[in-house]
Amino acid sequence: MSAKPSWTYKEVGDDKTVKQWKMDGPGCGEVEEPLHTILGKTVYTGIDHHWKEAVFATCGQQVDIWDEQRTSPVCSMTWGFDSISSVKFNPIETFLLGSCASDRNIVLYDMRQATPLKKVILDMRTNTICWNPMEAFIFTAANEDYNLYTFDMRALDTPVMVHMDHVSAVLDVDYSPTGKEFVSASFDKSVRIFPVDKSRSREVYHTKRMQHVICVKWTSDSKYIMCGSDEMNIRLWKANASEKLGVLTSREKAAKDYNQKLKEKFQHHPHIKRIARHRHLPKSIYSQIQEQRIMKEARRRKEVNRLKHSKPGSVSVVSEKKKHIVAVVK
């Protein structure tokens, strides 16, 4: 779903239609009808609106670029034959867009050339991507292998960072307006906040009733996070869990700044580091983390033994960043 400045939004569905609706609900006794309906030729699985122009993109069997004044796509782009699950416009270089398909590809397109630029193939399927709103060439991909991968589109053969903390498939990802952090939603019934330059999350949110988290968004004021989950609830979280809401007095602001400086000053002390890092986790997630830690240690020990007992140069050591990249096609 994609919102526009003119207070309308567009949606796509399995009925091969693109519909435009008013943001305002119907009045008393009125029947809600879409403003415009476009009948397409294929099933659409995703939509995203251009950040500046009256253009939007849909995806399904291919990526279609639409002008709002026309009922047929301006151009269609495809690379491969599998269905495309998500498409996202770049908020800075607005002529760039990226998509992820069910054949494990992440494909980048340029609207000016009306052709695909390049694609990277991962070990497992990517569910969605999100562009960094402050760095034009950086995007993060939410993958089925429990990880998130931050890429620089100029060098797709190695991800900038691999973010590992989830214990099930990552279904959605969204950046904060500052571009320094992003939030992820996972099938393991949790929401995590990652710094862009760190492989581990700084915060995890969960409740007893929250089921598989399907979608997540960071608000434009950078203060709140919204998520939608399987039990049909929308939840609102604070981006900083300990932050006090409302108007602060001058003494409260001074005390807050002083406490923050104390934390930064003593952040490397073992006891302070343990307190800052500790998060309570549900038993299911905690047990899965322990199980995966044992499995990872067993694989690492096997690799060390194979390297130790093999002829020098016959076994190559692959870094964690390159381990999940199959190929880059240009």
**Residue 4's pLDDT band (cuts 50, 70, 90):** very low
Which tokens sit at 95? 């002529």
Tens of pLDDT, residues 198-233: 999 999 999 999 999 999 999 999 999 999 999 999
Average pLDDT over residues 272-291: 92
Q: What CA–CA distance (Å, rounded) separates 132 from 107?
A: 17
**Residue 128's pLDDT band (cuts 50, 70, 90):** very high
Confidence check: pLDDT of 3 > 60: no
Hey, how many other C-beta atoms are within 10 angstroms of the C-beta on 160? Answer: 16
pTM of the model: 0.89
Which residues 6+ apart lie within 8 Å of 219 measured at CB? 225, 226
pLDDT of residue 1: 53
Average pLDDT over residues 33-41: 86
Confidence check: pLDDT of 24 > 60: yes
Q: What CA–CA distance (Å, rounded) separates 52 from 276?
A: 41
Which tokens sit at 178? 């500052």
| % pLDDT > 90, the chain | 67
Contact 195, 217 (CB under 8 A): no
Confidence check: pLDDT of 122 > 90: yes
**Residue 91's pLDDT band (cuts 50, 70, 90):** very high
Average pLDDT over residues 75-88: 87
Pick 319 or 6 by higher pLDDT. 319
Q: What CA–CA distance (Å, rounded) separates 138 from 154?
A: 9
Contact 97, 57 (CB under 8 A): yes
Average pLDDT over residues 250-274: 93
DSSP letter string, 101-148 = ETTSEEEEEETTTTEEEEEEEESS-EEEEEE-SSSTTEEEEEETTSEE
- Residue 68, classified by CB atoms within 10 Å of its CB into exposed (0-12), middle (13-18) or buried (19+), is middle
